[in-house]
Structure 1
Amino acid sequence: MTLKITNLTGGYGRIPVLQHESFTVENGQTVALIGLNGAGKSTTIKHIMGLLQPQQGTITVDGLTLADDIQAYRQKIAYVPELPVLYPELTLKEHLELTMMAYNLDPQKTWPQAQKLLKIFRLDNKLNWFPINFSKGMKQKVMIVCAFVTPAQLFIIDEPFTGLDPLAVRDLLKLIQDKKQQGAAILMSTHILTNAQQSADRFVLLNHGQVRAQGTLEQIQKEFQMDAANLEELYVQMSKEDAQG
């Protein structure tokens, strides 16, 4: 089991955004974190990354907490943020070199994989360019390449499809599938439920900082006795029930 969140309560102030949140993301599995704006998706991710401290509960990656060994914990994780974070003074090549240094990777062994990813996302002829000047979609591709060049066991992908063209979306979904087959765990937060249903094995539906439901689509349908044909219909039905409640 790679990621385990147990009874997580936390947020940005005294009033918690997350309340007693618990779920797991196991090796060889993609879990989609679903929720409306303000449901707690980004707050959950920030807690996993160690950017926020839990008020209660625990987060472990392969049994390791952030407090046990901060460097070892973070090297188990690769992160693709919703908004690309790039350094204006670094070229694409230098961003990749920085990533390799952060994960203590051997450049000679890692560059062949980097070149493969760059070619997939059509960035292989832009190594000496400054990504800060790229389009939104190209910047997102840089973040994807930097994350997937690592040997992380847990990939956290926050709204990955924003700004990507259809070809890049297809390439990313294929990359996620390949990593999953290699035994990695994938946690993906997205509003695009069609892509989530296509690529995820399980779903965690958040509402007001709490886990409203989790499991496969069939399990959630059975638990809540809903006849929704797909994930989007199911989520709309559950959101309406919560609003009426």
Structure 2
Amino acid sequence: MTLSVSNLSGGYSKQPVLHDLNFTIADGEIVGLIGLNGAGKSTTIKHIIGLLKPLAGEVRINGLSLGEDNQTYRQAFSYIPEMPVLYDELTLREHLAFTAMAYRLDFDQALAASRPLLEQFRLWERLDWLPIHFSKGMKQKVMIACAFMVEASLYVIDEPFLGLDPLAANDFIAMLEARKQAGASVLLSTHELQRAEQYCDRYLFLAAGHLVADGSLADIQAQFQMPDANLEEIYLHLAKESGHALS
């Protein structure tokens, strides 16, 4: 089991945003994290990657918690944030080198292994460019390239399709499938529900910080008694039931 979240309650203060979350992600599984704005998706991700400390419960990756082995825990996952986070004074090559150093990779070997991806994203000829020269979509591709330079056990991805053109989005999905086939796990937060339905094995539905559904599309259709509904229709149903506005 790559990821285990047990009795997790937490947030940004003593007042919890998340309430007693329990779920797992198995090796070689792509799981979609679904919910309205404010449902707790980003908060859940921040707890998993160690940016927030739980008020109760725990998170384990490959059986380890952050407190037990900080370095091994952090090197077990790779993270793609919703908005690209780049250093203005570092070139693309230097961003990749920084990532390799953080994960104790040989940079020359990691760069050579990443070349097909960089060429696919039309970044190979731009290794010495600074972030100011990249469009929003290209910045997102840089984040993806850095994340996929690492052969991680778990990929935690927050809204990866923002700024990506359709070709890049399809390329990205192919990368996810390849890492899945290699045994890696993926937790992906997205509002691109039609895409998610094509490649996710399972879905976690959050509402007001509670996990209200966990399972395949067929499982969730049965839970909500909507046997013919697609993922988007179930999402809209949940929005109306929760009384919140959609994004």
Q: Which TM-score applies when normalising by structure 2?
A: 0.96
* 1:60 counterpart residue number: 60
Structure 1 residue 134: deviation in Å? Answer: 1.1
Give me the whole-angstrom Cα distance separating, in 2, the residues matched to 1:129 and 1:243: 46
Moved over 6 A (4+): none
Give me the whole-angstrom Cα distance separating, in 1, the residues matched to 2:207 and 2:238: 10
* Contact 2:33–2:41, Cα closer than 8 Å, also in 1: yes
* 1:117 counterpart residue number: 117
1:138 equivalent to 2:138? Answer yes
Q: Which amino acid in structure 2 is aligned with residue 29 of structure 1?
A: E
Between 107-116 and 217-226, the greater mean CA deviation after superposition? 107-116
Q: Summarize the Cα distance change of 1:92–1:207 in structure 2 as closer, same or farther, 3 Å threshold.
A: same
Give me the whole-angstrom Cα distance separating, in 2, the residues matched to 1:197 and 1:140: 22
1:97 equivalent to 2:97? Answer yes
* 1:240 counterpart residue number: 240
Give me the whole-angstrom Cα distance separating, in 1, the residues matched to 2:231 and 2:41: 17
Structure 1 residue 167: deviation in Å? Answer: 0.7
Give me the whole-angstrom Cα distance separating, in 2, the residues matched to 1:53 and 1:228: 40
Structure 1 residue 26: deviation in Å? Answer: 1.0
After superposition, give the CA deviation of every residue in 1:27-77 in whole Å (9 maximum; x if it has no partner).
Answer: 100000001100000000000011000000010000000001111100001
Structure 1 residue 228: deviation in Å? Answer: 4.0
Structure 1 residue 179: deviation in Å? Answer: 0.3
* Contact 1:132–1:139, Cα closer than 8 Å, also in 2: no
1:72 equivalent to 2:69? Answer no
Secondary structure of the 1:125 match is helix
Q: Percent identity?
A: 54
* Contact 2:221–2:229, Cα closer than 8 Å, also in 1: no
**How many residue pairs are counted as aligned between the two chains?**
244
Structure 1 residue 166: deviation in Å? Answer: 0.6
Structure 1 residue 91: deviation in Å? Answer: 0.4
RMSD: 1.2
Secondary structure of the 2:179 match is helix
Give me the whole-angstrom Cα distance separating, in 1, the residues matched to 2:26 and 2:10: 23
Secondary structure of the 1:31 match is strand
Q: Which amino acid in structure 1 is aligned with residue 125 of structure 2?
A: N
Secondary structure of the 1:164 match is coil
The runs of 5 or more residues in structure 1 that have no matched partner are: none
Secondary structure of the 2:48 match is helix
Pairing of 1:16-55 with structure 2 (within 5 A) = 16-55=16-55
* Contact 1:87–1:132, Cα closer than 8 Å, also in 2: no
Structure 1 residue 89: deviation in Å? Answer: 0.8
* 1:177 counterpart residue number: 177
* 2:167 counterpart residue number: 167
* 2:227 counterpart residue number: 227
Give me the whole-angstrom Cα distance separating, in 2, the residues matched to 1:166 and 1:117: 16
Q: Which amino acid in structure 2 is aligned with residue 59 of structure 1?
A: V
* Contact 2:91–2:130, Cα closer than 8 Å, also in 1: yes
Structure 1 residue 223: deviation in Å? Answer: 2.1
Give me the whole-angstrom Cα distance separating, in 1, the residues matched to 2:46 and 2:243: 27
* 1:3 counterpart residue number: 3
* 1:81 counterpart residue number: 81
* Contact 1:86–1:132, Cα closer than 8 Å, also in 2: no
